[in-house]
Structure 1
């Protein structure tokens, strides 16, 4: 920064005079700076719009409405949920069933009957394990070292593929509580077994842990595992577990029906569940499209331009905030990219969908777009009409939303695919104008304009520096001339006095 001492001879405030002269000279620079600020605000506003769109795209990518099976969701009721509950898959037919439960599935248990203590040592254990309902044995190997205590051994049994939950505690033997090792099978059902695969393992299980083995070196069960016995619509069957699936319905049984009598289950289309998912989608969509429409309708205050630094200094922070709020308003008013996107989404919903030789119109399902043009694509739902359609023909609702593929003709694409395509093209159009955080400034139009303006500002600043220096040079010359005149006047005055 150049330090200047001016006006000594003339007595004039040269700095103030030059400052006022430069205010006029800086007017073009201020306009460039304001234009740059406006473009930056516009870029940021575009990116806010794309953030809203991408937020909805993320929602759609995780939304179950993209899957036809969603529209086949079933709900199952039970007349006695203390006995059993049930859920239905998409394949479950809408029907009622009578269920009787004679017994529940139980897990096999094994209890040592002669545990006298454990002697630490190195043991390589091998077992042949048959799971309930299986016929093929699985080999399980467990390595025990001399450093392992009985608690370590039990921990290794639990973490192995033996399929049991093992523990050691004082258990009643009929006359007293004694230290005992016990196993509970992790799987319910009949037919499972645990066999010592060699004599060393058999000796370990009987001699060290106190279990009884039969002639085939299989652990003798304290209680054998049993299958659940149920009768559905008169058909008696056995199941390995208390959770099983029959004809697309998964049953979870908790008690027998000996005391309560048969339980009735009813399978029907999950009308409320499907409706709620559609409504959630519509609400999310409306939230996005309404925010876009607000940008398109936002009022433009042409008298509110970006403030210069001098103007900001003369205002309070609150005044600056309120001013800039109006200056930023309307920057995307009637924007072509956004309006094209909202208009296309309205078309996506209104255009009929062709699927399986039939045509489907959104209005037939109780969903309409707002009649107000300014609302561009805002959706409204007639709840009763939509629920009736879901109940009557869920397949047609699925076709409306999910039919076609990415390569299908537009008329064959369901609403979800159409909207997805429109959102992608809208984001791309906006990024061509405003870019994104990963793009360089030369990759989008506003960025290129900002580069040009930044170059112009730099040139203008250099030019203003030259002009300011010229003003100071001229005033300095004037000051020097006045100084000389003063010196001459003083000299003449001295001569006259003589």
Structure 2
């Protein structure tokens, strides 16, 4: 580090002079930093598009499921008693609810004499409708209060909801515990697995056990009893599925309830609408990037320039500086052209030609919105209701291995374009999981960073050289001043 002497001898502001000299010397470094900033902005702009591509791909994954186009809705003639949902290949039905499924409950006697103990309670628990029991252990201690015991029962694997309450036994209020099974249906049981557990449950918590040490229910669990399309059956739950229809029982009925299964026009429409919306968001963004004006006079600001500007001025300046970074980009223009072709080309299915316009989906008449799609809701819903299979074929005909593109549905074609485009963008701009050496802009950033480091070192040496010269000058002036003073003193004598 060069020793720097201020202009005490010369009276000059050396720091200011060197600063001005270095401003010119720093011009190449400023250009490198501006280049680095432009590369970073361009990288981020590409990645922004890839985020939109990812959003569209997620929508496409849903569009590729056949169940999307086979969505069904169920209309119940008595929704206060039975509701249902349906999937593809579901059929209308009738159901009469003779009995609802109920959960078993277990109630203790007076537990005011509870004292507690240190032990591990062990149970064998069998769920309603099952034959295999599972082992459940609960650790209790002598310091546990009844509230602690209730909390441990609730958080255990017993499959019950426990509450502590006070009830009137005819002469006074006494504390009790009630257990309600979380699962409905007949046949469930909670069995004390050893004598110590049985003793704790009876002597400490006041529950009754049978000869097999199973808790005696104050109300046994019951199966639902229903008649579906004339066939009588029992179910452990009030929610169950038969022939792709999922029933929810709410009340018993005196007569059959009709459940009409039909195409879920609104549901299918919303899925297509969501897909079109995601596509439009992508295509609008890409069109904007491709046609964005380039302001060549607005280059990235240096740190010194930012210091002389307000935050708002910096924001407005950088908005123009970022504009046009992907103008006429070949990756993006190639992708949009291919996507438009994929949408407009007909889909051939069993000799029938399907066009997007037949289904009420057209492109915007505005030239600036090239490729932007618009939906005629009434026409599309009518087509979904009339022929949902043709709607499915329009979007997902063929398979991923179908060679002839004309036999592929629109989203299958689009899936291929998006995958390829995303890959090309990542090769150029990378992603958050890639190192800078794995994509082209990153490699350029590495080179620029290296050049910035080299120039920074060079400027340090140049600045040191300037200060070295001015320091030498100051020393020379100081010597001259000293000599002048000496001569004056000699002459004065």
- Bin of the TM-score, shorter chain as denominator length: 0.7 to 0.9
Answering whether residue 57 of structure 2 is matched by residue 60 of structure 1, we say yes
Kindly indicate whether residue 388 of structure 2 is the aligned counterpart of residue 388 of structure 1.
no
With over 3 angstroms needed to count, the CA separation of the structure-2 counterparts of 1:309 and 1:154, relative to structure 1, is closer
Does the Cα contact within 8 Å between 1:34 and 1:307 map onto a contact in 2? Answer: no
Query: Aligned partners of 1:86, 1:363: CA distance in 2, in Å?
Result: 35
Aligned to 1:69: 67
Q: Is the 8 A contact 2:41 2:322 kept in 1?
A: no
Is 1:129 the counterpart of 2:125 in the alignment? yes
CA shift, 1:208, in A, is 3.4
1:226 aligned partner? 222
Larger radius of gyration: 1
**Conserved? CA contact 2:396–2:409, under 8 Å:** yes
1:283 to 253, 277, 280: 277
Q: Secondary structure at the match of 1:101?
A: strand
TM-score by length of 2: 0.74
Whole-Å Cα distance in 2 between the matches of residues 160 and 450 of structure 1? 57
Match of 2:417 in 1: 422
State the match for 2:48 in structure 1.
51
Q: Per-residue deviation at 1:291?
A: 1.6
Question: Residues 231, 444 of structure 1: CA spacing in aligned structure 2 closer, same or farther, 3 A cutoff?
Answer: closer
Change (3 A) 1:280 1:118: same
Do the aligned residues in 1 keep the contact of 2:39 with 2:445 (CA within 8 Å)? no
* Mapped contact 1:142–1:156 kept (Cα < 8 A): no
Distance 1:294 1:409 in 2: 33
**What is the aligned partner in structure 2 of residue 252 from structure 1?**
248
Q: Quick one: which of 84, 88, 105 aligns to 1:86?
A: 84
- Tell me which residue corresponds to 2:268: 274
How do residues 302-321 of structure 1 correspond to structure 2 at under 5 angstroms? none
Shift of 1:321: 6.5
Give, in angstroms, the shift of residue 169 of structure 1: 2.5
Q: Is 1:377 aligned to residue 377 of structure 2?
A: no
> SS of the residue aligned with 1:105?
coil
Q: 1:405 to 1:33 in 2, by over 3 A?
A: farther
Change (3 A) 1:450 1:53: closer
Matched with 1:362 is: 356
- SS of aligned partner of 2:94: strand
Q: How far off its partner does 1:293 sit? A: 0.9
Where does residue 341 of structure 2 map in the other structure?
347
Instruction: Work out the CA distance in 2 between the residues paired with 1:130 and 1:309.
Output: 72
TM-score calculated relative to the size of structure 1: 0.73
| Cα distance, 1:268 vs structure 2 | 1.5
Kindly indicate whether the alpha-carbon contact (under 8 Å) linking 2:34 and 2:301 is maintained by their aligned counterparts in 1.
no
Q: CA deviation at 1:289?
A: 0.8
Q: Which consecutive residues of structure 1, in runs of 5 or more, have no partner in the other structure?
A: 9-18, 477-498
The count of residues paired between Structure 1 and Structure 2 equals 465
Q: Is the 8 A contact 1:271 1:391 kept in 2?
A: yes
Instruction: State the distance in 2 between where 1:229 and 1:114 align.
Output: 35
Higher alpha-carbon deviation: 319-328 or 187-196: 319-328
State the Cα deviation string for residues 461-482 of structure 1 (Å, max 9, x = none).
989x89x99xx9xxx9xxxxxx
**1:346-379: CA deviations, max 9, x gaps?**
1222234456786644333322334666534222
The CA RMSD measured in Å over matched residues stands at 4.8
Aligned to 2:236: 240
- Aligned equivalents of 1:142, 1:430: Cα separation in 2: 56
Contact 1:34 1:306 in 2 (8 A): no
Bigger drift between 81-90 and 140-149 goes to 140-149
* TM superposition shift of 1:175: 6.1
Other-structure match for 2:105: 109
The separation in 1 between residues aligned to 2:433 and 2:160, in whole angstroms, is 54
Q: Describe the SS at the equivalent of 1:161.
A: coil
Pair 1:118–1:377, CA change in 2 (3 A) = same
* Shift of residue 421, structure 1, vs aligned partner: 2.7
Contact 1:114 1:211 in 2 (8 A): no
Q: 8 Å contact 2:101–2:223 — kept in the other structure?
A: yes
CA deviations on 1:224-281 (whole Å, 9 max, x unpaired) are 22222223333333221211222222222222234xx653322222111111121122
Tell whether the 8 Å contact from 1:42 to 1:332 is kept in structure 2 after alignment.
no
Once the two structures are overlaid, the 10-residue window that deviates more, 148-157 or 161-170, is 148-157
Alpha carbons of structure 1 residues 364 and 31: separation in structure 2 relative to 1, 3 Å: farther
340 and 59 in structure 1: CA distance in 2 versus 1, 3 angstrom threshold? closer
Q: After TM superposition, give the deviation of residue 282 of structure 1 in Å.
A: 0.9
- The alignment partner of 2:333 has SS state of helix
**How far apart in 2 are the matches of 1:211 and 1:324?**
75
Q: Distance in 2 between matches of 1:398 and 1:228?
A: 38
Once the two structures are overlaid, the 10-residue window that deviates more, 368-377 or 218-227, is: 368-377
Secondary structure at the residue paired with 1:368? strand
